[in-house]
Structure 1
Amino acid sequence: MPSHIRVSKYQFSGKTGKIRLKRLGALMAAGLMLGSGAHAQLSWPAVTRQNKPWARWWWEGSAVSEKGLSDVMHLYKDAGLGGLEVTPIYGVNGEESKNIPFLSKRWMEVFDYTLSEGKKLDLGIDLANATGWPFGGPWVTDADASKSLEFKKYDLQKGQGITAPITFKQEALVRGEHRPAVDISLIKDPIRLNGIDNLQKWALDQVRFPVNIPLVALMAYDRQGNATDLADLVDKSGHLNWQAPEDGYQVYAIFQGLHGKMVERAAPGGEGFVIDHFSTTALGHYLGHFDSAFNGSSLDGLRGFFNDSYEVDDAAGQADFTPGLFSAFKELRGYDLKQYLPELLDKNNTSPEALRVLSDYRQTIGELLLEHFTKGWQNWGQQKGKLIRNQSHGSPANILDLYAAVDIPETEGEDELRFKFASSAADVMGKPLTSSESATWLQDHFLSSLADVKKAIDLYFLGGVNHVFYHGVAYSPLEATWPGWLFYAAVHFQPTNPQWKNFTALNEYIAHCQSFLQSSTPDNDILQYFPIFDSYAKKGRSLLNHYDGMKGFEGTDFKANAEWMNTNGYSFDFISDRQIASLGFDGSNTAKPIKSPGGHYQTLLLSGVDHIPEQSFTKILDLAKAGATILVYNHLPTTVNGLSDLDARQKVFSQLLASLNFKATAGGIQKASLGKGAVLLGSNLADLLQQARIRQEQMGVKGRLGFIRKVYQDGHYYFINNRSDSSFEGYVNLADDLDNSTASGSYALFSPMQLKSGLANVKNEGGRHAVFLQLRPWESVIVRTSDKELKGEKYAYTRPAGPATALTGNWKLTFNEGGPTLPKAVTMSRLDYWTNTKDTNALNFSGTATYELDFKKPAQISGVTRYRLRLGSVKENASIWLNGQKIATLIGPDFTLDIDAKLLKDNNHLAIRVSNLMANRIHYMDKNGLVYKRFYNINFPAHDAQNRGKDGLFTTLGWDIKPSGLAGPVTLTPLKTTP
């Protein structure tokens, strides 16, 4: 196959274009295929739109037009974006007449236009299945809205009854983005009767009307815990015809409340209650509204649908009930939850039985969310031939299973271990893509540079992400007054941002990285068990726990082990009980015999686990019997989970424990041989991993160099990132286990920012191959290893051939574009930021300016092949022009560039075009009362408290002028190419 042909991981078949997700295994070395014989050619993968970064695309008020859409989509395409995710949100003050109600006929017209324009421009399009988040809207009735469990408890003595009607009236509640919230007397019930204008103006987040809610269970319990169902003894007026037969009775009345959560940041036409995520009926009705809107539209050009996290309980109280809960619980757990309401609802009851009931309740809720919402939605998308992309974090369920149920798991945030929950599910279950909502609130508004974004993106790559979505781009007509329409919580990736001039460089960097990361499969060694049932069995402030990364696992061995492995060079994925059931043993793979649907692993690690289903423990020990090595940190599990059929299940579990006969080995590790394999038990994780011969990448120790290792047809890809402000130079050991010699022809380097590549310098250190790396601060490199000899040029390593020469003289500073006013040109005898000039217009200026200097070529030094141009301090990024030719764009954090010596003439002209932040111009607007915060709903809050004004909104009035421009020093250093 020619090296330039990409192999897509999505194969299309049939007239409907239905997507079949297939892991292509050995063929996933797209663009880096074998040459003839035993040699492989050195080449970059071809870049597709899927490799490029995509962006969340907010349609504020859905106030879009065909011309406006075309205008901005061309800009996005030219900037290097590969796709867009349409998410309608709240509108813009003064633009109400342009608003288009969500899913209306006109809305579908502009959406269909977007799809057709996307096809023309080769921009992929996804669509959020809601406006704002979570799923909800005006078509969601009370019956389909999220529910809460409310209860009353009565203590009775012998002969006593309950004289008052057994009813529950919800207290009125209104929460919204505005303080104070609108009076509930002004809000009509049902919500949809209030009209779009009012709902946009009110920005409601949660509404509970003061109404009586239905009684769904009435149970009496004697002192021994024996239960009596009293529901049939309640008349229509709510009176109970029953008296306690003896002292000490407790009666629990369970009511089905309306949780009242509404769609956050809803677009016009999308305001309303959030759905009941545990009800298949509610989901069917909800998606049916989309089916009706889509009727007559082919959706050709739409790749998939998106859900922006769970977030139902970002409100007062919890959505912790559904009409089918009791029947579902009995079916799934095998006993009647109504028999154990005191154990579930009494917060002071911490008996083993009460904790097991609580665990079963949480497990049931999680399974309903998985089956009734996540899988139901996935099936709906699949029937349309579309992908489903989901943010599962924050859900009251095992998020590994939720992530695994969809086509593309998506994460967010700034924590590498948080990312690994999404990427682990993809890795274990064979999902080709893990996406990320990227660069959300890196700093407060207008303060984040492209360098900040790059550092954040690199961390996503290290966490297993390979499909970046910026957060994000707001649709803004080109004619809108600067800074245009903005979103409230984002790094502003807008064409009005001066950094847009150099945005393409970042996008090309990401595309080249992802061309490797998407054309390979994970090569992690350890499956770390996710101890969800330990969490399920712990009392908390509320009935449900919500899972998001390591939140809730503070102080556990699970978290401590994950953190230690992540900073000590070990590669691992998290795994759930449901995923353990899918594991098999592959005896043909002696190095990594544990096989999941997505790959192979060396071992499975239990980190101080207490509760585990006997089925999972059985499967784990079966893997050991087949020949696997299982690692147990600190102690063996102590019990099974839950209350269902406890005695029988505990008996099975005890027999499994009894089958382990541990004997002491070296290093304090205990070993239980089991069949062809073994279980190792110890309290020192390093010793456990060493005895199990788990690979350790030395470069990952202490976190100086971050890495992720992936496998392709002939070897491995390493994405390596220097996570420091200092340069790195030296040999790095690789645990890639190549079968061939240590010849440099089997190792190649690809610099995705410098776009240079070549064969690496390699030596053997302690029986391992070591590759020589030269990395600038925060620089990344792709190392390609190959079992076949690679053919190509040597990588251009360099070393200084002489001292640096400062480029001095009269620098001419010219302001090219920006505002509010273009400052006058100035000549500087000493290079400096333009904000250090005396021109007031320069202090207020956000845009692009050019620093120019004529200089002579440094004195000739023998053997010099390149010169290193170092710009020094740049605020914030720059494009470099030498003798009228653009030679590079530098976005930082490092601002150095190696120039071919042949490009230098005896006399040279250097032009450095610097683009700064939006901050100084926004500061000017705030000082002069110029309005840019003109949005409905949340209307531009501050991320940091110190940037919050008297009106509660974001302000820059407390800021100093942000340094902008080029302060240098600019130097040239002669370089020689090293062998």
Structure 2
Amino acid sequence: MNSRVIGGLLAATAMLATAVTTGWAQNLEDGFKAPAVEARPRLRWWWPGDAVTDEELTREVRLMADHGFGGAEVASFTPNFLTLTPEERVAVNNYGEPTFFAHLRTAGEAAKAAGLTLDYTLGSSWPSGGGFAIPPEKAFTELSMARTEVKGGQPGPVKVTVPKRTRRLGALNFLDSRVKDPKVADWRKRLDARARTVAVVAMKGSAPDLVKRAGTMGLTISPWSDVVTSGTLDPASRIVLTDRLREDGTLDWTPPTGDWQVFVFRQYASDVGVLGGAGRGPQLILDHMDPTAFAAHAARVGNPLGKKPTGLRSTFVDSLELMQDIQWGPQLLEEFRKRRGYDLTPYLPFVVQPGWMQAWDEHYSPPYFDTSGSDLAERVRADYRRTVSDMMFAGFIEPFVAWNHAHGLKAKFQAHGGAFDIIRGYGLADIPETEDLPHGGDPLFMRFARSAAHLYGRPIISAESFAWKDRPYDVTPEEMRRRADTILSGGVNSIIMHGMNYRFHADDWPGWHAFQPSPFALGFSGPINETNPVWPGMKTLAGYIGRLQSVLQAGEAVVPVAYFYGRYGYYVGIEDDGAGKQAAEKAFLANGYDFDRINPDSIAQAKVEGRQLVSKGGQRYSVLVLPPIDGIRANTAEAIAVFAKSGLPVIFTDRAPSRDEGLAGAKARDARVRKAVAAAIKAGAKVVPAIDVPKAIRAASVPANIAFEGDASDLVFVQRLVGGRTATFLHNRADAARNVSISLPGVGGVTRWNAMDGSISAQSADAVGGETRVPLTLTAGESALLILDPKTQPQTVAAPVVVGSVDLPTSGWSLSVKGHVMRKPFARDFGSVSLKDWREVPELARFAGEASYSRSFAIDPAWLAAGTKVTLDLGQVHDMATVTVNGRTLQPVIAAPFRVDLTQALKPGANALTVVIANVLQNGMINPSDMVYKKLTPVPAGWVGPARLEAHK
């Protein structure tokens, strides 16, 4: 970087430093050594409805505190695939009753006494709804479509297909005993009574070419097939025929000459149920476009808490996951007319696009129908999606936030999985929460929540973390540590570990697991509790995460690039027609530039100060980049023109927008967009090919976070300015090592902070041209937290020198084990054994638990001299190890390299060594004769070694 770039960054960071409190600056080391409660990770705490006791709740809260957690997120739902006694079922379904709130108060009081806080899911399970508070009249609705191809020129009437309600296993299914309550005897009729034909529309055109649908065991998630080639409709031929449709599907219409597509749109109240919802009565999902439905729901599941409930920090709404044919609300046509200025009815065939915010399987597909030679259909879809978004905010998100604030609580919300402006959705919440399930933890996806936090001024960004699909019992602590690094490098600074199960059916080891396997699926990862043999390692993991979060919650984020996002919802591929390459985002990071996504709402509230874009939340950006788009709101384009005139660098990728998004008043709005874009370009905005965007950012004198030398692929980073020091967290997502040199802006000494043990050590660095260059090797999955302090000078640090080593024998270890085999208790003393994978030992091939290896050893007396450090390298371990030397138990080791510092525990002469190895639950769960647990496959287990003692100076 040149001096101008360095000067720009230093000026920017100096402005950020004024916002950092003196306390943070002075106590960064203290917070790293002993993280504050808010910096510690939290647990998703699964309750089996209200089948809990005060004593056990209190005990489990204390257990969390003892293991270094900052609190928990209470999620109460119906235990799946368990045989419940009648008494247990009643207790489970007392969710939402006075006994439940009494138990929640007990948990809150226990949390306060332990110095923790709880978040409470506002409703049992997800989506929101359930109980007698949400009758059919307040259930969410969907729009269904049926299409009939008609040849014109023949006399009518014509027979058309009328869509039926899509059949799903709903809340009123016969398997749920709660539907037998006499109070709901007429609910199915009341649901049916809400059905109505919304529109019948005919247009000339061709049918789409669809992908053949695969079978799903009778379970319908979405009625739509993906599209190979869109059908083409002529909007000029549109005819609305709603009043000509008879009940039997006969349409009183004689079609004119030509090929016609006739569409029938019918509204249904959906009987889709809350997933695993506990409580009395059926579990219908509430209408997320109706604020009265939310109010009824909150009155049932929230109001009994009262105001400022003890020990509760927030209430929480999980990802929405609404299964609707077409996103809809009974007032949508009226609201659309008010908000967008025209009637959507004749254009309804254009809104259907499979995969767009489809619950559980969001993906790209072309729309069912488009127009030839015009962008009318795309404009209609943009207007429709914006209206859906507006109504979701007015009907659910804004009332949810307001309810929390009125009750002295914060609102915590997962905005992904919703058909709305997710950046604004995250941003309206006090605590935006993302999750790591998409793509195995995608730090680019997680930046949406981080972006919203920066744009709207939210200091905490949380993530539902450690969710692996189809891996209920084999996730290791090392994988959790690596996933934590991925999440934190995505901008998150508050991890919610998924999850801790309330101790229920504990006699049937390992007890209830919220997402345990079933005959239909293998479930999700967990449990993180005492029944898991690796539970003792969770205190080490919690400390590791807490130390990192203590730094990542301090100071201010350094994010040079604001990258425009004008879509509704998100899935990987939404911006590149399904390619899912995330090319622009990856290019930013590869070139050393961190980025936030910025939405139109934030642009409307932003301003330019000192050639930087300043968000409502105070975040500063040095450049605004737009992806290749044709349509943009006129007022957004005009705001961008003002930014450019005020000196902000603006870059249009590949092409500049040429029109407004919407249809109403298109001619005038398009002219406004073109005028604004021309003004921006005149003021200095550039149109740049995608491949040259990073180069253009550098040419605009925008300082990068990092300059890389070497292979930086798969390196992800975040950076913060804390009291004048620059904290950089880098993570290597690759499965191979990366050897790089990184250059940090400014000159200063660099230290590397080890979050696993809280130690801080000097890092070799040198000053080059006003920057600080740091050589860095990151093994597969490894991370580094580097702190640059301009008050000190770079130095060269000599690498430790090995002055002696001893290989411990692989044989002659005394071994005793205690745990479970095929879910039954198992304990044995094996006498003298060799180190090997337990799968090679018949008695341990189906074992999960703890194994204690013991022997004595002697060391060279010279190793005990001052200045010498002695480590034990355990070699290959599955899955964690706790070392005891001479009666002194050291911190458990949960991740490679499995090395332990023995220096302070050693003595002259013979030393007694015990190594306790614990493995994950998987192998102990396998049962070839069980239809569920026979699906599990054996995983590596035990201690393979070889073990080696080394002395370093």
> Is TM (by shorter chain) over 0.5?
yes
CA contact (8 A) 2:654 2:687 kept: no
Task: Give yes or no for contact 1:821–1:845 (8 Å, CA) kept in 2.
Answer: no
- Specify the alignment match of 2:87 in structure 1: 97
Of the structure 1 ranges 547-556 and 246-255, higher mean CA displacement relative to structure 2 is found in 246-255
- Is the 2:411–2:430 contact (alpha carbons within 8 Å) kept by the matching residues of 1? yes
Q: Which amino acid aligns with 1:893?
A: A
Residues 1:287 and 2:322 are matched in the alignment: no
Letter paired with 2:138? D
The Cα shift of 1:194 comes to: 6.9
Q: Which residue identity lines up with residue 854 of structure 1 in the other structure?
A: S
Query: What does residue 47 of structure 2 align with?
Result: 59
Q: Look up the equivalent residue of 1:193 and give its one-letter code.
A: V
Name the counterpart of 1:858. 860
- Name the stretch that deviates more: 128-137 or 25-34: 25-34
Tell me, yes or no, if structure 1 residue 786 matches structure 2 residue 794: no
Aligned pairs (5 A) from 1:704-743: 705-723=715-733, 732-735=741-744, 737-738=745-746, 741-742=747-748
- Per-residue Cα deviation, 1:144-176 (whole angstroms, up to 9, x for no partner): 111122467898999988799x99684583426
* Secondary structure class of the residue paired with 1:400: helix
Aligned to 1:44: 32
In structure 2, what is the Cα distance between the partners aligned to 1:163 and 1:872?
A: 77
The residue correspondences of 1:210-249 to structure 2 (distance < 5 A) are 213-216=195-198, 225=236
Inter-partner Cα distance in structure 1 for 2:908 and 2:161:
90
Does structure 1 residue 459 correspond to structure 2 residue 461? no
Q: Does 1:404 align with 2:427?
A: yes
In the TM superposition, what is the alpha-carbon distance from 1:360 to its structure 2 partner?
0.7
Matched, 1:956 2:934: yes
CA drift of 1:30 comes to 7.6
Q: Give a deviation string over 1:217-251, Cα, whole Å, max 9, x none.
A: 577999985989888x7999999999889989998
Q: Structure 1 counterpart of 2:35, which letter?
A: V
Task: Select which of 611, 629, 642 maps to 1:609.
Answer: 629
Q: Where in structure 2 are the equivalents of 1:468-507 lying within 5 Å?
A: 468-477=495-504, 480-488=507-515, 489-507=524-542
Distance in 2 (CA, whole Å) between partners of 1:461 and 1:894 is 21
Q: CA deviation at 1:64?
A: 0.5
**d(CA) in 2 for partners of 1:778, 1:70:** 37
Which letter does structure 2 place at the counterpart of 1:286?
A: H
User: 1:159–1:123: structure 2 CA closer, same or farther, 3 Å change rule?
Assistant: same
- How far the C-alpha of 1:56 sits from its partner, in A, is 1.2
Residues 553 and 400 from structure 1, CA distance in 2 versus in 1: closer, same or farther, beyond 3 angstroms? farther
TM-superposed CA distance for 1:339, in Å, is 5.2
Change over 3 Å in CA distance of 1:887–1:68 after alignment to 2: closer
How do 1:514-525 and structure 2 match up within 5 A?
514-525=549-560
1:84 equivalenced with 2:72 (yes/no): yes
2:699 matches 1:691: yes
Contact in 1 for aligned 2:513/2:526 (Cα 8 Å): no
Give, as a single letter, the amino acid of the residue that structure 2 aligns with 1:44: F
Q: Which stretch shows the higher mean deviation, 208-217 or 421-430? A: 208-217
Q: Which residue pairs with 1:300 in the alignment?
A: 310
Corresponding residue of 1:267: 278
1:846 is aligned with what amino acid?
Answer: A
Deviations 1:683-720 (Å, cap 9, x if unpaired)? 42342233233415234953364321112232221123
The one-letter amino acid of 1:522's match is A
What's 1:329 paired with?
Answer: 336
The CA deviation string for residues 560-600 of structure 1, in whole angstroms up to 9 with x for no partner, is 2112223443211111111111221111xx6x455552311
Q: How does 1:558-707 map to 2 (within 5 A)?
A: 559-587=582-610, 592=612, 594-595=614-615, 597-659=617-679, 672=681, 674=683, 677-683=684-690, 684-694=692-702, 695=704, 697-699=706-708, 702-703=712-713, 705-707=715-717
What is the deviation of 1:969? 0.9
What is the deviation of 1:289? 2.6
Question: How far apart in 2 are the matches of 1:238 and 1:189?
Answer: 32
The equivalent position to 1:359 in structure 2, one of 382, 387, 410, is 382
5 Å-filtered alignment, 1:921-940, equals: 921-923=924-926, 926-927=927-928
> By how many angstroms is 1:54 displaced?
0.9
| Shift of residue 607, structure 1, vs aligned partner | 2.0
Q: Could you tell me whether the CA contact under 8 Å between 2:819 and 2:847 is conserved in 1?
A: no
* TM-score, structure 2 as length reference: 0.82
Distance 1:335 1:135 in 2: 32
Distance of aligned partners of 1:681 and 1:827 in 2 relative to their CA distance in 1, 3 Å threshold: same
Q: TM-score, normalised by structure 1?
A: 0.80
Deviations 1:749-792 (A, max 9, x none): 3110132114443311354202355766544332222344599x
Contact 1:629-1:680 at 8 Å conserved across structures: no
Greater Cα offset, 612-621 or 843-852: 843-852
Two-structure CA RMSD over aligned residues (Å): 4.0
Rounded to whole Å, the distance in 2 between the matches of 1:367 and 1:157 is 39
Q: CA 1:187–1:107 in 2, change beyond 3 Å: closer, same or farther?
A: closer
Out of 796-805 and 891-900, give the one that drifted further: 796-805
* Secondary structure in structure 1 of the residue aligned to 2:624: strand
Q: Distance in 2 between matches of 1:400 and 1:191?
A: 44
Distance 1:383 1:549, change over 3 A: farther
Contact 1:333–1:644 (8 Å) recurs in 2: yes
> Hey, what does 2:413 align to over in structure 1?
390
Q: How far did residue 287 of structure 1 move?
A: 2.0
State the Cα distance separating 1:347 from its structure 2 match: 4.0
1:845 alignment counterpart:
847
Structure 2, gaps ≥5 residues long: 1-14, 205-233, 353-366, 516-523
**1:937 alignment partner in structure 2:** none
Are the aligned partners of 2:271 and 2:284 in contact in 1 as well (CA < 8 Å)? yes
The answer as to whether partners of 2:145 and 2:264 remain within 8 angstroms in 1 is yes
Query: Runs of 5+ in structure 1 lacking a partner?
Result: 1-22, 200-205, 537-545, 661-671, 930-948
Partner residue in 1 for 2:887? 884
Q: Which AA in structure 2 matches 1:882?
A: V
2:225 maps to: none
Cα distance 1:796–1:863, how it changes in 2: closer, same or farther (>3 A)?
Answer: farther
Alignment pair present for 1:369 and 2:380: no
Aligned partners of 2:413 and 2:429 also within 8 Å: yes
Residue identity opposite 2:84 in structure 1: G
Query: Structure 1 residues 800 and 153 mapped into 2: Cα distance closer, same or farther (>3 Å)?
Result: closer
- Work out the percentage of aligned pairs sharing the same amino acid: 24
Please give the alpha-carbon distance, in whole angstroms, between the structure 2 residues aligned to 1:867 and 1:729: 27
SS in 2 for 1:580: helix
Deviation at 1:342, TM superposition (A): 5.7
C-alpha distance in structure 2 between counterparts of 1:24 and 1:635, whole Å: 33
Distance 1:219 1:680 in 2: 42
Matched, 1:826 2:830: yes
- Measure the CA separation in 2 of the matches of 1:219 and 1:773: 64
Distance 1:450 1:135 in 2: 32
Specify the code of the residue in structure 2 equivalent to 1:955.
Answer: Y
Give the superposition deviation at 1:298: 5.6
Q: 1:58 is paired with a residue of what secondary structure?
A: strand
Question: Partner residue of 1:946?
Answer: none
Q: Supply the AA of the counterpart residue of 1:433.
A: I
Encode CA deviations 1:168-202: one digit per residue, 9 max, x unaligned: 68458342699xx7599x9969996379xxx9xxx
- 2:83 maps to a residue whose letter is N
**What SS class does the counterpart of residue 703 from structure 1 fall into?**
coil
**Contact persistence 2:868–2:952 (CA under 8 A):** yes
CA distance in 2, matches of 1:723, 1:153: 47
1:328 maps to a residue whose letter is E
Count residues with an aligned counterpart: 867
Matched residue SS, 2:62: helix
Instruction: Label 1:813 to 1:610 Cα distance change in 2 as closer, same or farther (>3 A).
Output: same
Q: Secondary structure at the match of 1:855?
A: strand
